[in-house]
């Protein structure tokens, strides 16, 4: 684990009633609204992201953009991402100020056209995790790796890439800090930080 993440986890553990390694028994639910809800690749991507979170005890509840409840994580899709906008990134989020995710679908299609639905699902799961953890931090391996390589893509194709245990702990810490009645903050005025994500 990187030192910065260890420090962050230590700080969070000190502020939070949950121990860093304790996963609550009850399943947590996170509501996510996704643009292009019914697009075939998005349908499969939603299943992939849901499975990844279900395996660690978190249920993703999907809502259509037109009926998106307050406090939900909102996903938008970009199909003409400017080359100068976070070059090489497959999406961006603002983990310190809001609950918004933008996915660069055009770059995903160019990056690895053979596994677009899988890759889309993993990018969505990665970005949702930034929102939950409220950090831009990355792990040395797994879903939250900063730069996926060919081995990771092969694991994605076989649905074998998982969350690192450090991220499971941080996800539950993040969910424990969330205000249940409000969910995630959506404060456009506070959005200031982008996040460069895996290639």
Residues at the contact surface with Zn ion, assessed by CB under 5 A: 197
Min separation Cβ 137 and Zn ion, Å: 8
**Residue number, 127 or 181, with CB nearest to Zn ion:** 127
The residue whose Cβ lies closest to Zn ion is 197
Nearest approach in angstroms of CB 103 to Zn ion is 12
User: For residues 108 and 197, which CB has a smaller minimum distance to Zn ion in the complex?
Assistant: 197
Q: How far apart are CA 98 and CA 173, in angstroms?
A: 17
Three-state secondary structure along 59-126?
A: EEEEECHHHCCCCCEEEEEECCCCCCCCCCCCEEECCCCCCEEEEEHHHHHHHCHHHHHHHHHHHHHH
Smallest distance from the beta carbon of 79 to Zn ion, in angstroms? 21
Q: How many CA atoms lie within 13 A of 170 on its CB side?
A: 27
Tokens of 168: 């499971």
> Which one, 101 or 197, has the nearer CB to Zn ion?
197
To Zn ion, the closest distance from the beta carbon of 2 in angstroms equals: 13
Q: Which is nearer to Zn ion, 95 or 117 (CB)?
A: 95
Tracing tokens 């037109």 back to the chain, one arrives at: 66
């Amino acid at each position: 684990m990187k030192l910065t993440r260890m420090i962050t986890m230590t700080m969070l553990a000190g502020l939070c009633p949950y121990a860093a390694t304790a996963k609550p028994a009850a399943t947590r639910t996170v509501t996510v609204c996704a643009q292009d809800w019914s697009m075939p690749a998005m349908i499969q991507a939603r299943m992939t992201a849901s499975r990844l979170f279900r395996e660690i005890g978190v249920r993703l509840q999907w809502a259509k953009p037109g009926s998106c409840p307050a406090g939900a994580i909102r996903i938008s899709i970009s199909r003409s991402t400017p080359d100068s906008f976070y070059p090489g990134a497959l999406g961006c989020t603002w983990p310190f100020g809001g609950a918004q995710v933008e996915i660069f679908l055009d770059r995903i299609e160019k990056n690895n056209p053979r596994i677009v639905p899988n890759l889309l699902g993993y990018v969505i799961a990665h970005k949702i995790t930034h929102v939950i953890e409220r950090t831009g931090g990355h792990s040395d391996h797994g879903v939250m790796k900063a730069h996926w390589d060919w081995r990771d893509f092969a694991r994605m194709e076989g649905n074998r890439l998982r969350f690192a245990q450090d991220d499971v702990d941080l996800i539950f810490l993040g969910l424990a800090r969330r205000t249940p009645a409000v969910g995630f903050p959506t404060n456009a005025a506070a959005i200031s930080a982008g996040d460069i994500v895996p290639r």
